[in-house]
Amino acid sequence: MLKVNLLPESARRASGSQIEQVYRTPLAKFLVAGLGLYLAFLIVPYVLYQSQLKTLNAKVQALQPKKLEVDRIQKLLADLRGQAESFKNLSRGSRGLWSKRFNTLSDVTPEGVWYTELTLDPDKGLIIEGAAIGQGGAEMVGVGRLVQDLKSDPNFTSAVKDIQIESIKSYQEQEIEMVQFTLTCKLLDTETAKAGP
């Protein structure tokens, strides 16, 4: 069967499918343009946000070393405040007693032994760091004797609960053998310490 379309040329083109006719209407063009604008409104803020995020991340990276330094200083300040509070607690009513105790520490120090640092830690108590000249093992005996002399002194033990050798190690400094040691002196509470001799 043969179909013949006798419509003029202009009418034939307009008689396409309904979908083709919708695409050709101004409404379809308006919708496509609106969708394009909508996508542009979504993409432009996203691109700006990504750019700002990169800039902020670069600034954060640049500030990171300064932040670490500030954290380190804050930790140091907290430690110093803790030590200051511990020293205040020690000094209340017992300032003269502690000068006697440090004098005892000086008196019982064996020859060839010296102190490098005294620290008051809120948890560990009095930390005594020192060194001794190596004497073929005799320096270890000297450190042990120092601990025993401190433990046997009633003036010192009136404030100290226990004295322990926390660490002891030998090292070479140029041609001299040295021994480095750390003693921890656990303190009694302040009321008990005040009642000492």
Query: pLDDT-based confidence at 182, cuts 50/70/90?
Result: very high
Query: pLDDT-based confidence at 191, cuts 50/70/90?
Result: very low
State the Cα–Cα distance between residues 186 and 165, nearest whole angstrom.
Answer: 11
Other CB atoms within a 10 A radius of the CB of residue 125 amount to 21
State the Cα–Cα distance between residues 36 and 17, nearest whole angstrom.
Answer: 26
Q: What are the residue ranges spanned by the domains of the chain?
A: 16-91, 95-194
Query: pLDDT-based confidence at 96, cuts 50/70/90?
Result: low
* In the chain, % of residues over pLDDT 90: 1
More confident residue, 61 or 112: 61
Give Cα separations from 46 to 49, 54, 141 (angstroms): 5, 12, 73
State the Cα–Cα distance between residues 1 and 76, nearest whole angstrom.
Answer: 101
pLDDT score of 193 more than 50: no
- pTM for the structure as a whole: 0.50
Q: Which of 185, 183, 181, 166 is nearest to 131 (CA)?
A: 181
Strands 160-173 and 125-133: unpaired
State the Cα–Cα distance between residues 52 and 47, nearest whole angstrom.
Answer: 9
Q: How many CA atoms lie within 13 A of 70 on its CB side?
A: 5
Query: pLDDT-based confidence at 1, cuts 50/70/90?
Result: low
Q: What per-residue string of b and e applies to 166-184 under the rule 16 or more CB within 10 Å gives b?
A: eeeeeeeeeeeeebebbbb
Angle, helices 95-107/26-91, rounded to nearest 10 degrees: 80
- Tens of pLDDT, residue by residue over 12-43, are 554 455 555 555 667 767 787 888 888 878 88
At the topology level of CATH, where does 95-194 sit? Gyrase A; domain 2 (3.30.1360)
